[in-house]
A and B are shown apart, each in its own frame.
Chain A
C-alpha cells in the first residue's frame, strides 16, 4: 500500500463509480431527478478532485519512477496484475481530468433529456480516463483506454447534435481499429518480456526490426486518439456533434490519451523505432500545424474552428515528444496541460453562447464585447492563450517545444513556429467575428452577460491559464525527474557503448 495507508489511486479512480451507483438509485419525478443527479455528480467529482489535490501535495517530484504503487493479483497464471502508479508524467494529466470533470458537469445545464444517464456516462468517463493515466500495467492500461469508448460513444450519440449518429460511429470504429492494432503489439511485447508491467516492459530490449512494426501499431492507436494528421478525420465530426460537456472531455482530456501513450509506450519502449520514425512524426506534426491551421482559418462555425485549432496544437505536442530533448518533451507535456485548460475554456465560452439560444455560425455573431464585457474578457484570455501569448500558458509550452526542436532540426522548429503565427491569425479572426464586428442581428444586443454558474466554470480555468503562464515551474519541476530519465534512457539505448551504467529508473 501507499504512504496514506489506503490505495489512493484506486480510490480516485473508482470513486466516481459510487456516484454512478447513487445516480442509479435516485427515485422521484424527472425534474427532481435531474436536479439531484447534477448535484450528486458535481459533489462526487469535487470530492475526487480534493483527493487528487491531496495526491499532488504528497507527491515527491524528486523521484523519477512510479509512486503510490498498488499491486494486486489479477489474471492468474499470465503474469498480469492490477498495478497502479503515478509519476511526474501522469500526475498532472490525472489532475487535469479531475479538474475538468466538474467543469464539464457545470457546463451541462443544457442537457435536459435522460439527465441521469448523462451524468452516469460522464462519471464513468472520469473513472476510465483516470484509470488509464494511473495504470502501471499495459493490459490494465489497454482496458481503460478502450473502455473510454463506451461512455463517449453514448455521450456523442444520445446527446449530440444533428449528425450525432454518424459522428459517434465514426469515432468508435476509428478508435477501435487503432486499438486492436495496439492489442497485437501488446500481446507481442507481453510474450517478449513475460510480463505486462510497464516498468518491466520499458527495460526489456526489443529487436530493431520488430520495433518498427510495433511502432506502427502504436501509431495507429495513439495517432487516432491524439488526432495526428491524417488520422484526425473523426475529430471535427466528434467535436462538432458532441454536446458541450462531451466536447470538453474529448478535446481537453481524451486527446491527451494518445500523446500520453506515445510518451509512456512508444518512445521509451521502442527507442530505435522512435528514432527511425522521427522524421515521419515531425512531418505529420508540421503538416498538422500548418495545413490544419489553414483549415481552421476557413471554418465558419466557432466549435469546428476550435476543433481544428485543437488538431493543430496536437501537432505541436507530437513534435515536442519526438525531439527526444528535455525541453521538447517538457514543452509537450506542458502544452498538453495548457491545451487541455485553454480548449476547455474556449468550448465553455461556446457553450455560453449556445445557452443563450445563439448558434455558433460566425457570420451570425458579432459585437458581443459591448453587451457582454466579462464574457469578452474571458474569451479573450483563452484565445490569447491559444495563440501563445506570453504570460499565458500557451506561450510556455510552445516556446519549449520550439527550443527543443531547434536543438534537433532548424527547419522543424521554424515550421512549428509558423503555427504560432497562423494560430494568431485564426484566433483573431474568431475574436473579431464574435466580439468586435458590428451586431449582425438586433437580437444580439440583448444578450445578458455571464451568470454565476458560468463564472464558476470560466474563472478557475482563466486563473489556471495565468498561473501556468506566469509561474510555470510549479508544474515543470514535477516533469523534470521523469523526463530527464526518459531522455537519458533514450539516448543510452541509441548509443549502447557510451552509456552502460544508467538505464534504470526503477
Chain B
C-alpha cells in the first residue's frame, strides 16, 4: 500500500485511540494513568513515524504531506504530549482523572494532523471539526466545576459560529471557483479572483483567525483559558495554536497564494490589533491564566506578522516563532500548575509573592519564561521576534513593525510584573511540592528556552526547509 507510510501517524493515533477507548471502557478499573501514558507513547511513535515519512499526495489530492506538514506535526505532537504529562498529577488531584481525557486529546491531535495535511477545503473542514469537537469536551472535562462547563459551553458556541463562518466561506469559494482542491484553486486563482471568491476567502480567514485567537476574534480566549482545567489550557495554548497557524499559513500561501494583494492588508490588521490588544488588555489582569490568554493573543499577532510579509522569509519567521512559542507556552503552564497550596490550585499573580526566596528554582524558571515571552535576548523569544520583525521590515511593513515594537514595550511591562511579584515582593507562597512530571516539562521547556541561543541552527534550518516546501 503506497499510502501506508505517510498515513502511518494518523493511523496510529486513530486506531490507537480507539483501542485505548475500548480498553478503558471494558476494564472496570481506573485507567487514567495507563491511558495517558499510552497516549504519550502513541504521540511519540506518531512523531517518529511522521519524521521518516516521505512526501506524498493521498486520496486523490485530499491530503498532502511535505516537510512543512511534518514541521507543524512535530510541534503538535510535542505540545500535546507535554500537556498530557502535565495532566497526569493535576487531573488526579482535581478529581477529573477520567480515561477519556487522553483519548480525546489523541482524537484532537488526529484532527490537527488532518487539517495540517489538508490539500482540499473539505478535508480541511473535517480535520478542523474533529479537533474542535474533541477540544470542546476537554474544556468542559471538569464537569462538576461551573467554570469549566461554562468555558466548554462558551468555547462550543463561539467555535460553532467560527465553523459556520468557515464552511460558509468554503461554499462561496467552491461556488465561485468551482473546486475545493488546493492545487486546482491555486491555478484557477492565478489570474486574480472575483468578489465572490474574495468574500469567501474572508470568511475562511475569519474562521481560522478564531482558532488561533487573533483579535478581534479572540473573545473566547480569556474565559476559556481561565475556566478550563490548567493542563487543558496548556493544551489549548500549544498544539491547536500550532496546528491552526500552520493551516492558516498553508491556506493563505497555498490555494490563495496568488491573492496576496487581496488578503495582505487583512492579515496586517489582524496582526496589529492582536499585538496591541494582547499588550494593553493584559496589564489589568490579576489571574495568571487570563494573563497567559492575552499574552497568547499578542503572540499570535507577532506570528501573523510573518504571514503578513507574504514572503518565504516571513513564513520561515512565523514557523520559528510558533515553534519557540509552543515551547515557552508549555513551560509557562508547567509553572502555573506548580502553583498549588495545600492541595488547592491558586491562580492569582499575587499568590506568587516571595516565591524567589522559597523556591528559587521554580521562580527562576518562571522568570526565564516571562523574559523570553517579553522577547528579551538571549532567550528564545527574542529570536522569534527578531525573525518576524526582520521579515516584515524587508517586506516594507514599517507601520506594523512599529506597532509591534510599541506593544513589545508595553508587553514587557506586564511580564516584568510577574517577575517583580516573585522576586521583589514579600510573601510566603508555601506551594506544595511539584510532581515529577510537571518538573520534567518545566525543565525541558525552560532549558530549551534559555539555551536556544547556543544552538539555533537546527530549528532555523528546519523552518527554512518547511517554508520552502510550502512556497514551492
Contact = CB atoms under 8 A, between A and B. Distances in A.
Contact of A190 (B376, B390, B405, B409): B390
B460 A143 contact: no
Given A75-B456, A76-B461, A184-B405, A147 B420 contact: no
A168 B402 CA distance: 25
Contacts of A188: 393
A177 B413 CA distance: 11
Contacts of B420: 157, 165, 168-169
A77 interface: yes
A74 B371 contact: no
Nearest to B383: A75
A172 B386 CA distance: 19
Contacts of A76: 456-457, 460-461, 464
Q: Is the interface of A mostly helix, strand, loop or mixed?
A: helix
Contact of A173 (B356, B371, B412): B412
A177 B460 CA distance: 27
A164 B461 CA distance: 43
Interface in B365-422: 371, 376-378, 382-383, 386, 389-390, 393-394, 401-402, 405, 408-409, 412-413, 416, 419-420
B451 to A, nearest CB: 12
A181 interface: yes
A126 to B, nearest CB: 15
A220 to B, nearest CB: 11
B464 A180 contact: no
> Looking at chain B's contact residues, is the secondary structure mostly helix, strand, loop, or mixed?
helix
Contacts of A183: 386, 389, 405
Interface string A166-206: 00110011001100110110011011000000000000000
Contacts of A191: 390, 393-394
A158 B423 contact: yes
B389 A184 contact: yes
Interface residues of A, number: 36
B393 A184 contact: yes
Contacts of B402: 184
B129 to A, nearest CB: 38
Interface in B402-457: 402, 405, 408-409, 412-413, 416, 419-420, 423-424, 453, 456-457
B363 to A, nearest CB: 10
Interface string A148-163: 0110011001100000
Contacts of B164: none
A173 B413 contact: yes
B460 A180 contact: no
Pick from B360, B394, B408, B424 the residue with the most CB of A within 10 Å. B424
A143 B382 contact: yes
B460 A77 contact: yes
A114 B426 CA distance: 13
B5 interface: no
Nearest to B394: A191
Contacts of A449: none
Given A117-B360, A150-B376, A158-B356, A180 B424 contact: no
A439 interface: no
A142 interface: yes
B357 interface: yes
Contact of A114 (B357, B383, B389, B419): B357
B405 A180 contact: yes
A177 B401 CA distance: 14
Contacts of B416: 153, 169, 172-173
A153 B360 CA distance: 16
A139 B461 CA distance: 18
A271 B30 CA distance: 73
A146 interface: yes
A176 B393 contact: no
A74 B461 CA distance: 11
Nearest to B361: A24
A484 B356 CA distance: 50
Nearest to B423: A158
Nearest to A165: B424
A173 B420 CA distance: 13
Interface in B343-373: 356-357, 360, 371
Interface of B: 356-357, 360, 371, 376-378, 382-383, 386, 389-390, 393-394, 401-402, 405, 408-409, 412-413, 416, 419-420, 423-424, 453, 456-457, 460-461, 464
Interface of A: 73-78, 114, 117, 139, 142-144, 146-147, 149-150, 153-154, 157-158, 164-165, 168-169, 172-173, 176-177, 180-181, 183-184, 187-188, 190-191
26 contacts: A76-B457, A76-B460, A77-B460, A77-B464, A114-B356, A114-B357, A114-B360, A139-B386, A143-B377, A143-B378, A143-B382, A147-B378, A150-B376, A158-B356, A158-B423, A165-B424, A169-B420, A172-B416, A173-B412, A176-B408, A176-B409, A180-B405, A184-B389, A187-B390, A187-B394, A191-B390
State the 8 A-B residue pairs at the shortest beta-carbon distance, nearest first: A143-B377, A157-B424, A180-B405, A146-B377, A187-B390, A76-B457, A143-B378, A187-B393
